[in-house]
Amino acid sequence: MALGWETALGLWHRTMVAALNRDLPDLTQRQFALLLQVYMVPPPHTVRGLAETLKMSKPAVTRAVDRLSAEGLVQRKTDEADRRSVLIGRTARGATYLRDFGDMVAGLTDES
């Protein structure tokens, strides 16, 4: 059953407030979307591919990756098949962050 828009926005609101209260990394919507793309879609992930999929410019993807890398949520790795290309990969910290975030959202859903 689909959620109504008020219910969906209410859940999103509670999620954002809970994330702020937990002192989680303060990610932009673009950074969070990129993080989810890397973890929810099977690899490989490149800046070019992420830019195409997320309808972002390559410089915007690079800035988002810079921020996510600084937080330890993703990592850059040279593509062994094409040394000119850089792959964007997962990290243990990123997997833990998203698992905890997902658990938090699931808990808020149960409160509805």
pLDDT of 111: 67
Domain limits, the chain: 5-111
12-44 pLDDT, tens per residue? 999 999 998 988 888 999 999 999 999 999 999
CA distance 112 to 110: 6
Q: What are phi and psi of 77, to 5 degrees?
A: -145, 135
CA-CA distance, 79 to 58, in Å (whole number)? 18
Q: What is the CATH number of domain 5-111?
A: 1.10.10.10
Task: Provide the pLDDT confidence category of residue 1 given band limits of 50, 70 and 90.
Answer: low
Confidence at 87, pLDDT banded by 50, 70, 90: very high
Report, as an integer, the average pLDDT of 53-82: 95
Q: With the CA atoms of 96, 94, 104 and 37 taken in that order, what torsion angle do they form, in degrees rounded to the nearest 10?
A: -130
